[in-house]
Amino acid sequence: MAYLQVNVVTPDGIAFQHRAKAVTAKTTDGGITIMPNHTPIIVPLAIADLIVTRVTDELAQNHIAVNGGIMEVRDNVVNIIANSAERARDIDIDRAEVAKERAEKRMAEARDFKNEKEFQRAKISLSKAINRIGVSKNKSS
């Protein structure tokens, strides 16, 4: 049986490495599922949940909060180079909630001062925090 080798790498090092039956990601153009023998592809990733269906069991999945990056698929190897990535089981939900509140406050302040750059930065921070909160609901991963 063919399988995928999945590698998630961040500036801090390897965040995840495992064999898989499938990888589901959200690109900047929409969702994509990669299965063994997929055509070579390089796509930009959105801030979203990366789902890796492991080889061991049909229902065994790892959920990883990926905060942008790129995904390259070639010869049954999926390399994801992300700005940051965090497995569901490693997410500190309290810290993510605080980051969400802080981003919402920054967005409101930026809107009041009509600071578009700061508003966009805060919006990205909010997206990352919401993604981490959502992915953390899959703690068994």
Asked if 70 and 44 count as a contact pair (C-beta separation under 8 A), the reply is yes
Q: Are residues 74 and 122 in the same domain?
A: no
Binned at pLDDT 50, 70 and 90, residue 114 comes out as very high
Give the confidence band of 1 by pLDDT, cuts at 50, 70, 90. confident
Distance in angstroms (rounded) separating the CA atoms of residues 133 and 40: 32
pLDDT of 141 > 60? The answer is no
Measured CA angle at 30 (ends 22, 77), to 5 deg: 30
The average pLDDT across 98-121 equals 96
> How far is 126 from 115, CA to CA, in rounded Å?
16
pLDDT of residue 64: 98
In a shared domain, residues 10 and 58: yes
62, 87, 112: which is the final residue of a domain? 87
Within this chain, do residues 97 and 118 fall inside the same structural domain, yes or no?
yes
Q: Residue 11 has what pLDDT?
A: 97
Please give the model's pTM, rounded to 2 decimal places.
0.92
Whether residue 109 sits in one domain with residue 75? no
Does one domain contain both 25 and 64? yes
User: At residue 59, does pLDDT exceed 90?
Assistant: no
Domain co-membership, 52 together with 98: no
Instruction: Say how many domains are in the chain.
Output: 2
The closest of 52, 60, 39 to 80, measured between CA atoms, is 52
Q: In this prediction, what percent of the chain has a pLDDT beyond 70?
A: 96
Mean pLDDT over 53-74 rounds to 90
Range of the domain at 124: 93-137
- Mean per-residue pLDDT over the chain, rounded: 95
